[in-house]
Amino acid sequence: MTEDLAARLHSLGYRLTPQRQFVLQAVEKLGHATPDEILAEVQTQSSAVNISTIYRTLEVLEELGLVRHTHLSDRAPTYHSVTDHEHFHLVCRNCHRVVSVDPEVVAPLAHRLREEHGFVLDIGHLAVFGHCVECDPTEETDA
């Protein structure tokens, strides 16, 4: 992975710095993480990194197609590695649980949006908000 990352960075005029490597490793380790969470993880390896470095590095890594972001709250974006499978997110407004869902679930919607509106859905950026079964007071359980 390091050689591939170095080659991709070099092709765009960047070099593989320890900070870039630390940020990518943190994103891969954390799964879904905000820049602040990534900073906390990176600082366990290098205290020479600040939040500005995290944001700049995430921008470069996203430009390279190595990470993606989505908005899982009204706060900072949440980043995840593209080495993970393509997915979209279900976010519970009550407990804040995030579930990754296979894109085939929304394939009919994506197809219809393309056919009827000429619109291509960006699945990896999609977050659907609602309530999970555990938090939905209207959900009846069989007793």
- Give the residues across from 69 on adjacent strands: 79
| Ranges in the chain annotated CATH 3.30.1490.190 | 88-130
Residue 112 falls in which region: left (phi positive, over 0), alpha (psi -120 to 50) or beta: alpha
pLDDT band at 109 (very low <50, low <70, confident <90, very high): very high
pLDDT at 19: 87
Task: Find, among 99, 96, 115, the residue nearest to 107 by Cα.
Answer: 115
Rounded-to-integer distance, Cα 5 and Cα 133, Å = 40
CATH 1.10.10.10 fits 2-81, yes or no: yes
Q: Which CATH architecture has domain 88-130?
A: 2-Layer Sandwich (3.30)
pLDDT tens per residue across span 3-26: 777 777 788 788 888 888 899 999
What's the distance, CA 111 to chain centroid?
A: 23
Rounded-to-integer distance, Cα 61 and Cα 13, Å = 13
Tokens of 115: 């056919």
| Ranges in the chain annotated CATH 1.10.10.10 | 2-81
pLDDT at 141: 53
Looking at mean pLDDT, say which of 113-117, 130-134, 137-141 comes out highest.
113-117
pLDDT tens per residue across span 61-101: 888 888 888 888 777 888 888 776 788 889 898 998 888 89
